[in-house]
Structure 1
């Protein structure tokens, strides 16, 4: 019987000493549970993904020192094999590094395997720094068990559709008893189920059991959910680690029956086929993303502009869940166009959340701008410039507070508005991080209702959820004055921005709406208008804060579109 520890840890990019400490702590647990081998995620030494830090000579030196430190650490557990991930320098023509898997034991390197398939799509750009590993199989013998080894993307091409090379097939040809895959697989809606489908099919095809160990944690825009798992030789997922939390678990593997059991020999509990409900997934992904972003950037507190609208309300709720009520501040900044509910609804919400709400009226500040503008330029400030001025005064006020008191400013734009530029650059786009920037407006409403349902009361007041969305920058202004209804707009945006990356049901729904619109001239005109709005506002998105990614295609590193280009003729 082989005892194998899945060490799903939360490493920090560049914190090599801290990451080694996490690995050593997990290895000690593995040793105490009489494990033979402990498995860490892909690039566990540096965390995934260090990006252009790999070009920095001082970082390269720290990686080399970290590898030496890691070897020393393994001497504390002399009987235990460590499977770790790290960038390893290579010689010859090509990129300077391999994305490598190393097997270490008692101060020695036992084995090295270099990742063969380097993703360069969506959010990935590994070919920028790494050279593909040679088309070879690496198998580790531990006692009587032969363990085949691979890294993340190597296991995603068993259908042969994306790469010429199929490392899973090559590994299967070596006939191991068990496959171990180390991974840094970022999370988005449906990703857990996709992993289970892809690896379950490969395991069933080759009649091979597999242990898949994933990273967790928030890293800038990306969140890794963990959810490490084991699959039996029939392709059935028989074990799953926690989601959005560190999890170090020792399993036993019987090489004769090729089955996984708990480390004490008891049967594993059944793994549910369905994961978290969509809204709960969004909630947990965003909360972990904010926790780690704040922690890693040195923030303990956050500030949000509280407009009395649904976007700022949801942002405040998620911020409180991540950081605690004592560490979140709301600021309401009414103008002469603000409705009564702008302040009163904010007061009720912040009272419900137990957070401090500061009122900072901007009417006199805006008036001063209007007067000096008229004096300098000989005309009245009105229309769009006046609307944007109010947003920029609010943005400046929030940045002043952030600068003075050290709070992280959270921007409150949603994906629907950000897509079409329904936001003010240097105004409501100010901030360090966007929590809801990958959620469409219809999803904002749904998540607020979900939060109230799970709370068992109106944590977010119904008045906020039910009021017609408005920027409140002009008399009687409503979002629908400038945009189509959100249930229509969101389907157009899903089709144009995410397309094939949508889940099947979402894609069908979006395609049906697009077909309906294309059938009439006014619908076709609306589609063209939205296409142009998306293209025209790329420059805003480039200057906006990063947003936490929850869907298959998010603005940011995963969508590289030029600003100065003719996208739609």
Structure 2
């Protein structure tokens, strides 16, 4: 019987000492449960992903000091094997580092394995810093068990379509009893099901039980959801850890199957170091141990419903971003519209309403309803709302403009001026009171440039920048359902979208209706990265749209708007990623280019 503790933890990039402390605490818990192995996630020692911090000489020195600290701590748990992700030095030509897995036990490094497949697609750029490891399988003997070890991407090429090398083939040839894969797999809608299909399929194809261990937490624009799981060849995924929370728990493994329960768990009174793995009782038929074992609860095929997934992902992403950047409070411009309302609601959930401030900034074009809606929203959420009118500021700018340039300020320059004054007010507040400014733009508007540089694009983080406008409405309704009461006033949800920068202005005057625009954008921006259902729906919608000349012209217009507004997106704040292809590192397009 093999006892394996999954340590699904929230590591901080660059916090070597803090990450060591977290691993030591988890290892002590594993030892108390008489585990043979404790498994941490990919690059757990330094956090995933450290980027060009890896190029700093003192960084790798700190990493090596961290490994030494883990080795010293492991002497407290002499029978426990610590599976740790860390950078290690490479020898020979090429990059100077490997993305490695090391196994530490009783003060020594027993095994080291360098990741072979280094992703350079979407948000990944590991080949920038790491050299691929050799095409070999690494197997660790623990008691009577042979445990194969992989690092993340090494398990994602079992179909053989992305790389020449398939580490799973080497692993199959090594004939381990079990494969453990350590991962730092960022989350987006549909990713859980993709992982289960990929590794569940590999488990069945090669006849190998697989334990997949992931991290959680927000790191800049990426969020990791955990959801560590175990798969068996005949049964598929049989166990799944919770998502979006830390989780340290012990599974039992024997005869190709995973179990929960039995002695050696948290309630055991046996001393952790009293016996080694070869001295443990076997789970023989009819034995007391076998009687206490049970199979994990069934794992649902479908995970968290999409709106709730978006809510949990964004809440965790903001909470960790603010904490890691040293912010305790945030400020949001409250326009009375759906985007700022949803941003305020999510911020209040993530940080507590006492740490969220709204500012309403009415102009001569703001409706009284918008101001009233902001008041009602902030009252429902329990957050403080300040009022800072901008009509006099706009008038002063317009007056000076005409005096300086000999013509009145009107049209688009006047509209953008209002947005920029509001952005300036919000940044003044941020500077004066130390709040993180959250920008409120959604993916539909950011895609086509329906936003003002140095105005509503000001801020340190965008919560909705990877949600299309139709998804913003759906998530707003879900927020109310989840709360069991009306947090976002129905008047805001029902209101026709408007920037309110000109008399009678409506978004539909400048853009196609959002249900139309969003389907076109999904196909143009995400394409085959969409789920099968979303891709099929978008393709059918756009194909039908292009049946006439007006529809074809609309698609081309949207394509041009996306292309010519790359310069705005390049200057925008980071946005929390929730979909397969987000703006930022996930979609790298040139600014000065000719698009068809």
1:367 aligns with 2:395: yes
In structure 1, distance between residues paired with 2:104 and 2:480: 49
- Aligned CA RMSD, in angstroms, stands at 0.8
User: Contact (CA 8 Å) 1:470, 1:477: kept in 2 or not?
Assistant: yes
Equivalence for 1:307: 335
Equivalence for 1:424: 452
In structure 1, distance between residues paired with 2:166 and 2:433: 54
1:335 aligns with 2:363: yes
Equivalence for 2:315: 287
Q: Deviations over 1:422-454 (max 9, x none)?
A: 000000000000001000000000001111122
Q: Secondary structure at the match of 1:266?
A: coil
By how many angstroms is 1:376 displaced? 0.5
By how many angstroms is 1:235 displaced? 5.0
User: Contact (CA 8 Å) 2:230, 2:258: kept in 1 or not?
Assistant: no
Q: Secondary structure at the match of 1:131?
A: coil
1:317 aligns with 2:316: no
Q: Which residue among 348, 364, 389 is the counterpart of 2:376?
A: 348
TM-score (norm 1): 0.99
1:160 aligns with 2:160: yes
Equivalence for 2:553: 525
Q: Secondary structure at the match of 1:44?
A: coil
Structure 1 residues 199 and 263 mapped into 2: Cα distance closer, same or farther (>3 Å)?
Answer: farther
Q: Which residue among 464, 480, 491 is the counterpart of 2:508?
A: 480
User: Contact (CA 8 Å) 1:11, 1:19: kept in 2 or not?
Assistant: yes
Q: Which residue among 478, 484, 492 is the counterpart of 2:520?
A: 492
Deviating more after overlay: 451-460 vs 430-439: 451-460
**Where do 1:20-419 residues align within 5 Å?**
20-254=20-254, 256-264=255-263, 265-419=293-447
User: Contact (CA 8 Å) 1:177, 1:258: kept in 2 or not?
Assistant: no
User: Contact (CA 8 Å) 1:437, 1:547: kept in 2 or not?
Assistant: yes
1:437 aligns with 2:436: no
Q: Which residue among 542, 546, 549 is the counterpart of 2:570?
A: 542
Q: Secondary structure at the match of 2:554?
A: helix
User: Contact (CA 8 Å) 1:145, 1:177: kept in 2 or not?
Assistant: yes
In structure 1, distance between residues paired with 2:235 and 2:100: 26
Unpaired runs of 5+ residues, structure 2, are: 264-292
By how many angstroms is 1:516 displaced? 1.2
In structure 2, distance between residues paired with 1:159 and 1:545: 37
Q: Deviations over 1:344-395 (max 9, x none)?
A: 0000000000000000000000100001101100110000000000000000
**Where do 1:543-558 residues align within 5 Å?**
543-558=571-586
Unpaired runs of 5+ residues, structure 1, are: none
By how many angstroms is 1:262 displaced? 3.5
TM-score (norm 2): 0.94
In structure 1, distance between residues paired with 2:464 and 2:159: 35
By how many angstroms is 1:75 displaced? 1.7
4+ residue runs over 4 A deviation: none
By how many angstroms is 1:63 displaced? 1.5
In structure 1, distance between residues paired with 2:358 and 2:195: 39
Q: Deviations over 1:454-476 (max 9, x none)?
A: 22222111100001000000000
In structure 2, distance between residues paired with 1:323 and 1:195: 30
User: Contact (CA 8 Å) 1:302, 1:410: kept in 2 or not?
Assistant: yes
Q: Secondary structure at the match of 1:268?
A: coil
